[in-house]
């Protein structure tokens, strides 16, 4: 199994595309595209099946990470102002990206309307041979994402001990 893409709800498509390309370095594959509620096309019927009757339409943009994972940004016509994470509810609450430039990504995140949720943390602070770092950040719409300095496997696998 391979990860193909994630979908993220945002409040302002232009601001979201700017944030995800400029702060996080994703590449724009398909710019802001309007999707209307309709039953004539396969896409229209698929959207009704997913979002339900009365979703009123949305804007969508497609981006990709440097390793080819897709990121779909959705700006629904009717939406709340910000995402509020409710840790008492079941469901996905963050995604994670890997970078060699922690300080740069954090600075760009803040400059483009996001925020830091915590200080940078080391997974193995007692072991200088494992400089694995992480932190949690937010995009400008309150969506949480984690930032890693090394691969998931390096960070957690005992084979790297």
pLDDT tens digits for 47-56? 999 989 988 8
Is the pLDDT reported for residue 159 higher than 70? Answer: no
pTM: 0.90
pLDDT of 64 over the 90 cut: yes
Distance (Å, rounded) from C-alpha 47 to C-alpha 53? Answer: 9
Domain residues for the domain of 84 are: 5-160
Return the CATH number at 87. Answer: 3.10.180.10
3-state secondary structure of 138: strand
- Return d(Cα 59, Cα 32) in angstroms, integer: 6
Q: Rounded CA gap, 158 and 21, in Å?
A: 34
- Total domains in the chain come to 1
Residues 86-145 have pLDDT tens digits of 888 889 999 999 999 999 999 999 999 999 999 999 988 888 888 899 999 999 999 999
């Amino acid at each position: 199994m391979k990860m193909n893409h994630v979908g993220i709800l945002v409040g302002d498509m232009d601001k979201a595309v700017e944030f995800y390309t400029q702060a996080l370095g994703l590449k724009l594959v398909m710019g802001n595209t309007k999707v209307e509620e309709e039953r004539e096309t396969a896409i229209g019927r698929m959207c009704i099946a997913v979002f339900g009757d009365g979703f009123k339409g949305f804007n969508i943009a497609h981006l990709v990470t440097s390793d080819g994972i897709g990121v779909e940004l959705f700006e629904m016509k009717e939406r709340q102002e910000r995402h509020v994470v409710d840790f008492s509810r079941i469901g996905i609450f963050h995604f994670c990206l890997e970078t060699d430039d922690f300080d740069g990504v954090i600075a760009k995140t803040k400059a483009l309307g996001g925020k830091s949720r915590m200080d940078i943390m080391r997974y193995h602070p007692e072991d200088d041979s494992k400089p694995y770092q992480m932190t949690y950040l937010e995009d400008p719409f309150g969506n949480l994402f984690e930032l890693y300095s090394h691969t998931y496997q390096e960070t957690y696998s005992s084979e790297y001990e």
